[in-house]
Amino acid sequence: QVQLVESGGGLVQAGGSLRLSCAASGRTFSSYAMGWFRQGPGKEREFVAGINWSGGSTVYADSVKGRFTIARDNAKNTVYLQMNSLKPDDTAVYFCAAKFSLRTITNDYTYWGQGTQVTVSS
């Protein structure tokens, strides 16, 4: 069982930056692929970024490529999402997710956090 707690959301102006964090419980964090998803107002939840167990492989949605960076610190059981050049369309609740896997994955995650709100004003 893995518990995930996101933090770092907030209100930011367009063009600004935020860094989200996701703290995971458990002693086997390094055995889990991690991902970030988001759900905007009136939209379905969508994949944002994923990272493999070591941090050596990452994957991004086209909409955030070049602006967002996912990283992890296995010693701190934490995964991060650095978001730069934010746009109003990035407004959403951002969720952290985990799956017992050594690969980089974009779906079929097992564990989910409660989410953190990111609002980008124009």
pLDDT score of 1 more than 90? no
User: How high is the pLDDT of residue 25?
Assistant: 94
pLDDT score of 47 more than 90? yes
SS3 31: helix
Q: What is the pLDDT of residues 65-102, one digit of tens each?
A: 999 999 999 999 999 999 999 999 999 999 999 999 98
Q: Are 6 and 20 in contact (CB under 8 A)?
A: yes
CA atoms within 13 A on the CB side of 24: 29
% pLDDT > 90, the chain: 94
